[in-house]
Amino acid sequence: MSDNGQRPKNNLIILQRGEPVLAQVANPVTDINSEQIKQLITDLKITVAEAKGVGIAAPQVGESLRLFLMCSAPSERYPDAPLLPISVIINPEIRSTSEQQALGWEGCLSVKGKRALVARYTSIDVSYLDEAGTKHNKTLTNFLARIFQHELDHLDGITFIERLNNENDAIDEQQWRETYLT
């Protein structure tokens, strides 16, 4: 317990697909400077680092808020990911997209042990607020565009499984590993 009676949370439990909050449309963040939001951002940073994810959305830890982190870095599961500082993305919007989509392998911390090829726009124009409340307008391409679309889906109650033509198109991570990692 700290002096103000708030329990340090930090490493949060990541909910799995099937939990109702992961199927809900999340609410806009109205007070970026609140202690609740600051604590949530701190906790998400620790949680996604420990889980070795490239992104995490607030609903995945049970908070139905339009907020996610992008934390692209190369890893075994995402060897081609660019190394970037963690971005906090609040109240995001996709303003426009490329016509072109591409298939790429995705997994999700809320769909443990599964991978699938998911079609995403290769380029998107986005806007969002960062944790200081500063507005950003950016064009994201390729892997970063993919993370953004995957995480934004979480804010709209969608996991990558719902993006597949057939749920059985998802394969076991172990099978993926044996087939696609050399």
The site for Ni ion (CB under 5 A) is made up of 108
Can you state the percent helix, strand and coil of the chain, rounding each to 5? 30, 30, 40
Nearest approach in angstroms of CB 5 to Ni ion is: 32
Q: Would you say 69 or 108 has its CB closer to Ni ion? A: 108
In the complex, what is the shortest distance from the CB of residue 56 to Ni ion, in angstroms, rounded to a whole number? 7
Residues found in the chain: 182
Which is the catalytic residue, given 151, 162, 167, 178?
151
The two structure tokens encoding residue 61: 């830890």
- Closest among 136, 143, 137, 139 to 120, alpha carbons compared: 143
Q: Given the complex with Ni ion, which of 4 and 70 has the nearer CB atom? A: 70
Nearer to Ni ion, 131 or 151 (CB): 151
Closest approach of Cβ 128 to Ni ion, in Å?
Answer: 17
Q: Give the residue closest to Ni ion by C-beta.
A: 108
Give dist(CA 157, CA 65) in Å, integer. Answer: 11
Is the Cβ–Cβ distance between 154 and 22 less than 8 Å? yes
Nearer to Ni ion, 107 or 122 (CB): 107
Tell me which residue of 157, 155, 156 sits closest to 17, measured CA to CA: 157
Indicate if 151 belongs to the active site: yes
Q: Tell me the catalytic residues.
A: 151
